[in-house]
């Protein structure tokens, strides 16, 4: 049997980040929309963390920023009340839907969002 060398295929994807706001511009429990590259992004500050998702609801592309972020961490679309978890974008109702997540990083008090989805 020929030997097969173990080769790591893990690559770090080069991601461009866009600065969207200062940390203190979006309080914990708030969400807001920003244009990042070709995407409208919903930036969510919840549980002392930031999360970024495609800002358009997967149901009928209504802007999620016009919905609600609840105290227990649900993003609720204002159009037909679809619900998603703020901390991972997974659908709660309906459960088979999911928000497209974008990478987020915080550096020196500024929040940056990646221009491509995770």
* Smallest separation, CB 62 to ligand FES (Å): 4
Q: Given the rule CB under 6 A, which residues bind ligand FES?
A: 57, 59-60, 62, 77, 79-80, 82
* Smallest separation, CB 59 to ligand FES (Å): 3
- Phi-psi region for residue 81, left (φ > 0), alpha (ψ -120 to 50) or beta? left
* Smallest separation, CB 82 to ligand FES (Å): 4
Backbone angles phi, psi at 22, to 5 degrees: -85, 150
Given the complex with ligand FES, which of 16 and 66 has the nearer CB atom? Answer: 66
Buried b / exposed e along 66-103 (16+ C-beta atoms within 10 A)? ebebeeebbbbbeeeebbbbbeebebeeeeebebebbe
Given the complex with ligand FES, which of 43 and 64 has the nearer CB atom? Answer: 64
Given the complex with ligand FES, which of 75 and 111 has the nearer CB atom? Answer: 75
């Amino acid at each position: 049997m020929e030997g097969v060398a173990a080769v790591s295929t893990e690559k770090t994807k080069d991601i461009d980040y866009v600065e969207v706001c200062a940390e203190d511009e979006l309080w914990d429990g708030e969400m807001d929309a920003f244009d990042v590259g070709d995407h409208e992004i919903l930036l969510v500050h919840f549980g002392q963390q930031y999360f970024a998702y495609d800002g358009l609801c997967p149901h009928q592309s209504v802007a999620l920023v016009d919905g609600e972020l609840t105290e227990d961490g649900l993003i609720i679309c204002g159009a037909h009340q679809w619900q998603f978890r703020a901390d991972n974008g997974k659908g709660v109702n309906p459960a088979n839907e999911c928000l497209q997540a974008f990478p987020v990083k915080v550096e020196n008090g500024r929040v940056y969002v990646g221009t491509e989805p995770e």
